[in-house]
């Protein structure tokens, strides 16, 4: 009997061992087999370690206004287009202007948005950021419609300016501020008012902000759903934000027009859109909060950081805004859309901050079929990473590419192939103009009231998401 039990136990563990060995060799085969597909037609490159591939090297932190060691090394060895193994998938990485543009313009035809599955767990499957096909088209059409309706509305512009003035008034007795915190406070207050009609004083605003900060931390964490991890807390935070938004929707429907002016915010307009489901409307609200909060505040920080290093640009910017203010009949008269269109050098500063700072480093795509480009093949099913940073910092495309020089935009077309800070094609960020308006209006009051100096150690770092490690500490000089 003991012999039989021992034999059974030995057989079980032998089966386990065979299974583990088989799984291990399966992973090895899965990792290296794609490397030999299509022979010499696939771009040159290396796959790195089994399973992990070259992901750790690709994600190694570096200043966002540089390529980083990984891209520099691989481009010098293999050229601007090379193969690698990133995020558990065989991947073609493109640092080439023409291929990047080709990928962006063929969204839904030859390539498709393909973010890692854990991202879906936080954003939700109907998020505009990860949706594809007809779902993405419907969501994007609504987004574009909302932006068109909103961007020049006096109520929206006045809210931006009021919020900027409130933030800057709180600096009057301060000699130093952590600018990233101040910028996030500004952008959150603006977007939560525009999207949900909430003011900073309302309890729902505080509740959403607390959950949103948890949500943001998890979005850039190790995607492992274990209770207590940042990722797991982010998933739960998203559920709570969704519940809060649904409660606001129900209250709005019960009260009709009585509590808030109809058409005054995104939510009021969304309630009348029949082409979106309830979950899609809630997800759309979360996407709007995400886009209007983090990306816009980071763009503000980039502009302020680079202006601190360019006194000439600061002075020209200040003169432009003083000229605009001098045309106002009253000192406290609000800015309007016509004033915004006069901010030409401001636009140059914003564009240069986008090019040089590289808020978005790359995007994830997947080849839907074998794609031939020039003399190589991108195999069906492989991931494709068009790297915007590489094109923005390409000295053959931009003179003095590693220098903050806003004047380049006086002659350079900001809609050209070599400048894609908000993506391109059908997935170009629909809220990009709103972000620029917010930054322009904030700078209008900032440059007329303050000078500032950033600490020497401060610089934007790519992880690959971009942030200032110390929050961009500014020493203020009141004008």
Sign of CA dihedral 22, 23, 25, 30: positive
Q: How far is CA 321 from the centre of its chain?
A: 28
**Contact criterion met (CB below 8 Å) for 320 and 344:** yes
With a CB cutoff of 8 Å and minimum separation 6, the contacts of 104 are 386, 420, 423, 424, 425, 427, 428
With a CB cutoff of 8 Å and minimum separation 6, the contacts of 382 are 34, 89, 90, 91, 92, 366, 367
**Residue 296 counted as domain residue:** yes
* Binding site feature residues: 429
* Binding site feature residues for heme: 429
**Residue 36 counted as domain residue:** no
Q: What is the pLDDT of residue 415?
A: 74
> Each residue of 127-177: pLDDT tens digit?
888 888 888 888 888 888 888 888 888 999 999 999 999 999 999 999 999
Say how many domains are in the chain: 1
Residue 85: strand, helix, or coil: strand
Structural domain range at position 447: 46-478
CB-CB neighbours of 70 under 10 Å: 18
Looking at mean pLDDT, say which of 50-64, 68-82, 237-251 comes out highest: 68-82
How far from each other are the two terminal CA atoms of the chain, in whole angstroms?
A: 93
**Residue 22 counted as domain residue:** no
Q: What is the pLDDT of residue 82?
A: 97
**Residue 90 counted as domain residue:** yes
Of 392, 427, 389, which is closest to residue 93 (Cα–Cα)?
389
**Residue 6 counted as domain residue:** no
Residue 333: strand, helix, or coil: coil
> Each residue of 405-430: pLDDT tens digit?
999 999 887 778 899 998 888 888 88
Query: What gap in Å lies between CA 377 and CA 191, rounded to an integer?
Result: 43
Looking at mean pLDDT, say which of 13-17, 67-71, 430-434 comes out highest: 67-71
DSSP conformation class of 113:
E
Residue 367 sits in a domain of what CATH number? 1.10.630.10
pLDDT at 191 over 80: yes
With a CB cutoff of 8 Å and minimum separation 6, the contacts of 69 are 57, 60, 62
Beta strands in 115-272 (DSSP E): 176-178
**Residue 15 counted as domain residue:** no
Q: What is the pLDDT of residue 35?
A: 53
Residue appearing with tokens 């800057």: 168
pLDDT at 433 over 70: yes
> Each residue of 9-48: pLDDT tens digit?
444 444 445 455 544 555 555 555 555 555 558 999 999 9
**Residue 4 counted as domain residue:** no
- With residue 467 as reference, give the H or E element that holds it: strand 466-468
**Residue 18 counted as domain residue:** no
- With residue 373 as reference, give the H or E element that holds it: strand 371-373
């Amino acid at each position: 009997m003991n012999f039989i039990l021992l034999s059974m136990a030995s057989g079980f563990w032998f089966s386990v061992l065979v299974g583990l060995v088989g799984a291990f060799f399966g992973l090895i085969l899965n990792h290296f087999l794609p490397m030999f597909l299509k022979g010499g037609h696939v771009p040159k490159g290396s796959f790195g370690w089994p399973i992990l591939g070259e992901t750790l090297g690709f994600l190694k932190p570096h200043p966002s206004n540089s390529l980083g060691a990984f891209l520099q090394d691989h481009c010098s060895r293999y050229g601007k287009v090379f193969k690698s193994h990133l995020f558990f998938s065989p991947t073609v990485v493109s640092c080439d202007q023409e291929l990047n543009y080709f990928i962006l313009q063929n969204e839904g035809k030859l390539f498709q948005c393909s973010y890692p599955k854990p991202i879906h767990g936080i954003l939700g499957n109907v998020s505009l950021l990860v949706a594809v096909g007809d779902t993405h088209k419907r969501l994007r059409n609504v987004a574009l419609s909302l932006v068109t309706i909103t961007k020049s509305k006096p109520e929206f512009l006045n809210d931006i300016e009021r919020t900027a003035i409130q933030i800057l008034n709180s600096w009057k007795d301060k000699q130093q501020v952590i600018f990233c915190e101040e910028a996030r406070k500004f952008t959150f207050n603006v977007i939560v008012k525009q999207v949900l009609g909430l003011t900073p004083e309302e309890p729902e605003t505080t509740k959403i902000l607390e959950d949103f900060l948890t949500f943001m931390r998890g979005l850039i964490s190790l995607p492992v759903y274990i209770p207590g991890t940042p990722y797991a807390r982010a998933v739960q935070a998203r559920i709570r934000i969704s519940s809060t938004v649904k409660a606001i929707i129900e209250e709005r429907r019960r009260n009709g027009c009585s509590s808030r002016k109809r058409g005054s915010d995104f939510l009021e307009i969304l309630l009348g859109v029949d082409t979106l489901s309830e979950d899609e409307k809630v997800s759309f609200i979360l996407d709007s909060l995400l886009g209007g909060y983090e990306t816009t505040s980071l763009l503000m920080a980039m502009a302020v950081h680079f202006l601190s290093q360019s006194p000439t640009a600061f002075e020209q910017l200040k003169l432009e805004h003083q000229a605009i203010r001098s045309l106002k009949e009253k000192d406290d008269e609000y800015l309007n859309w016509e004033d915004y269109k006069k901010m030409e050098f401001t636009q140059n500063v914003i564009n240069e901050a986008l090019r040089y700072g590289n808020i978005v480093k790359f995007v994830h795509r997947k080849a839907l079929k074998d794609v031939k480009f020039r003399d190589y093949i991108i195999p069906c099913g492989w991931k494709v990473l068009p790297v915007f940073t590489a094109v923005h910092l390409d000295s053959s495309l931009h003179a003095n590419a590693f220098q903050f020089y806003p004047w380049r935009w006086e002659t350079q077309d900001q809609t050209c192939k070599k400048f894609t800070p908000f993506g391109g094609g059908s997935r170009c960020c629909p809220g990009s103009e709103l972000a620029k308006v917010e930054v322009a209006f904030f700078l209008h009051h900032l440059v007329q009231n303050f000078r500032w100096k950033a600490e020497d150690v401060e610089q934007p770092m790519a992880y690959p998401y971009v942030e200032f490690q110390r929050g961009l500490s500014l020493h203020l000089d009141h004008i």
